[in-house]
Chain A
Amino acid sequence: MRGVNLNLFDFDYDLTWAGFFLSANEQMYGRYGGRDASSADGQMSLAGLRHAMAAALATHRRISNIGPASPPTAVQTVEQYPAAQRRQADACIHCHHVYDFRREALQTAAKWRLDELWVYPFPENVGLTLDVDEGDRVKSVADNSPAAAAGLRAGDCLQAVNGVPTASLADVQYGLQRSPAQGIIPITWMRAGKMLASNLDVPSGWRKTDISWRWSLRGLEPSSWVHGDDLTSEEKKKLGLGERQLAFFQGNFLSIPARQAGIRQNDVIIGLDGKKLEMTAQQFQAFVKLNYKLGDHVTYNLLRAGMRLDVSLTLIGRPP
Chain B
Amino acid sequence: MKARHLQPGIASSIALILAGAIATPALGAGQNQAHWLTDYDQARKIARATGKPLFIVFRCQH
Chain A residues packing against B (C-beta within 8 Å): 1, 4, 9, 11, 14-26, 29, 40-41, 44-47, 49, 53, 56-57, 60, 64, 92, 94-96, 215
Q: Cβ of B1 and Cβ of A95 under 8 Å apart?
A: no
In B11-62, which residues have CB < 8 Å from any A CB? Answer: 14-15, 22-23, 44-45, 47-48, 51-62
Q: Cβ of A20 and Cβ of B55 under 8 Å apart?
A: yes
Q: Cβ of B57 and Cβ of A18 under 8 Å apart?
A: yes
Q: Cβ of A21 and Cβ of B53 under 8 Å apart?
A: yes
Q: Cβ of A16 and Cβ of B62 under 8 Å apart?
A: yes
User: Which residues of the partner chain B approach A57 to less than 8 Å between Cβ atoms?
Assistant: 22-23, 53
Bound: A1/B54 CA distance, A:
18
User: Which residues of the partner chain B approach A64 to less than 8 Å between Cβ atoms?
Assistant: 51
Chain B residues packing against A (C-beta within 8 Å): 1-7, 14-15, 22-23, 44-45, 47-48, 51-62
Q: Can you give 21 contacting A-B residue pairs, CB < 8 Å?
A: A1-B58, A4-B58, A14-B62, A17-B3, A17-B7, A18-B58, A19-B6, A19-B55, A19-B57, A20-B57, A21-B53, A21-B55, A21-B56, A24-B44, A24-B47, A24-B53, A41-B1, A41-B2, A41-B3, A57-B22, A94-B60
Given A24-B53, A44-B6, 12 other A-B contacts at CB below 8 A? A1-B58, A4-B14, A9-B56, A16-B60, A16-B62, A17-B59, A20-B56, A25-B48, A26-B44, A92-B14, A94-B60, A96-B60
Q: How far is the CB of A85 from chain B (nearest CB, A)?
A: 19
Interface SS of chain B: mixed
User: Which residues of the partner chain A approach B54 to less than 8 Å between Cβ atoms?
Assistant: 20-24
Known contacts A11-B58, A17-B57, A1 near B1 by CB under 8 Å: no
Q: Cβ of B53 and Cβ of A4 under 8 Å apart?
A: no
Known contacts A9-B58, A41-B3, A21 near B14 by CB under 8 Å: no
User: Which residues of the partner chain A approach B45 to less than 8 Å between Cβ atoms?
Assistant: 24
Q: Cβ of A60 and Cβ of B53 under 8 Å apart?
A: yes
Q: Cβ of A46 and Cβ of B55 under 8 Å apart?
A: no
Q: Which residue from A1, A23, A26, A45 sits with its C-beta under 8 Å from B14?
A: A1
Bound: A273/B23 CA distance, A:
57
Q: Cβ of A45 and Cβ of B53 under 8 Å apart?
A: no
Known contacts A17-B59, A57-B23, A46 near B53 by CB under 8 Å: no
User: Which residues of the partner chain B approach A47 to less than 8 Å between Cβ atoms?
Assistant: 1
Known contacts A16-B3, A57-B22, A96-B62, A24 near B56 by CB under 8 Å: no
